[in-house]
Structure 1
Amino acid sequence: MSADIPYAEVAPTRDEIDAMTGPVVVDFGTNWCGFCRAAQPLIGQAFDGYAGVRHIKVEDGQGRRLGRSFSVKLWPTLVFMRDGKEVSRLVRPGSVDEIARQLATIDAPGV
């Protein structure tokens, strides 16, 4: 489950994110953030039906350019993308259904 993976300290560049094809979720947060830690089980459950969606967890904070380029203000922020374009976002998601609805906008559920 990708939700169990810690937020990566080394982030891809914005150009790399924008060049990605297919469905991608960029998950901004930190490993010590209480809101982020509380959301991880929800995110993991929502992703269970979306094996084809790439989940990129990026540590955000002061001086982190990728988060600033997406105007991230609160954690966790999930940016749902398709072929390098933002489709939607969730800030501090509160339910599996809320996350799954957004995943469905970028990918059909399946194995």
Structure 2
Amino acid sequence: MNATHAQADPSRAEVDAMAGATVLEFGTSWCGWCRGAQPAIAKALAGRPGLRHIKIEDGPGQPLGRSYRVKLWPTLVFLKDGQEVGRVVRPNGTDEMERLAREIAAA
């Protein structure tokens, strides 16, 4: 799991071209919902070395978040070879995140 936000957000074209399993986590460092969800996110993504986790510092006018129509934080977008296979908004448990992480890491 990545504990810090990316220094420079990737472009949508770069994300679309990413091979393998990727989780984009949209949020901010000051968001209470985001901070509260970190233990569940860490648990759900733990032990998956092939899973790329990118934390995106989101906000009004940020192009990557807008391209995924992010409205609430945290939003986790699960990608397989650049294609969205699922998302979790404001997680309060690990079941759905773990299921999606297994799904994109398989095959």
Which AA in structure 1 matches 2:81? Answer: D
Find the partner of 1:67 among 65, 68, 74: 65
Deviation of the 1:70 alpha carbon: 0.3
> In structure 2, how many angstroms separate the alpha carbons of the residues matched to 1:97 and 1:51?
19
Who is 1:15 aligned against? 13
Q: TM-score, normalised by structure 2?
A: 0.93
Who is 2:98 aligned against? 100
> In structure 2, how many angstroms separate the alpha carbons of the residues matched to 1:64 and 1:51?
29
Deviation of the 1:50 alpha carbon: 1.5
Q: Which runs of 5+ in 1 are unaligned?
A: none
1:31-88 CA-to-partner distances (Å, cap 9, x unmatched) read 0000000111111111113121000100000110000000000000000000010000
SS at match of 1:103: helix
> In structure 2, how many angstroms separate the alpha carbons of the residues matched to 1:68 and 1:78?
14
Who is 2:84 aligned against? 86
Which AA in structure 2 matches 1:32? Answer: W
Q: Percent identity?
A: 56
Q: TM-score, normalised by structure 1?
A: 0.90
1:71-111 CA-to-partner distances (Å, cap 9, x unmatched) read 00000000000001000000001112221111111014xxx
Matched, 1:29 2:30: no
Deviation of the 1:6 alpha carbon: 2.2
SS at match of 2:85: strand
Who is 1:77 aligned against? 75
1:16-35 CA-to-partner distances (Å, cap 9, x unmatched) read 00000000000000000000
Q: Which runs of 5+ in 2 are unaligned?
A: none
Who is 2:36 aligned against? 38
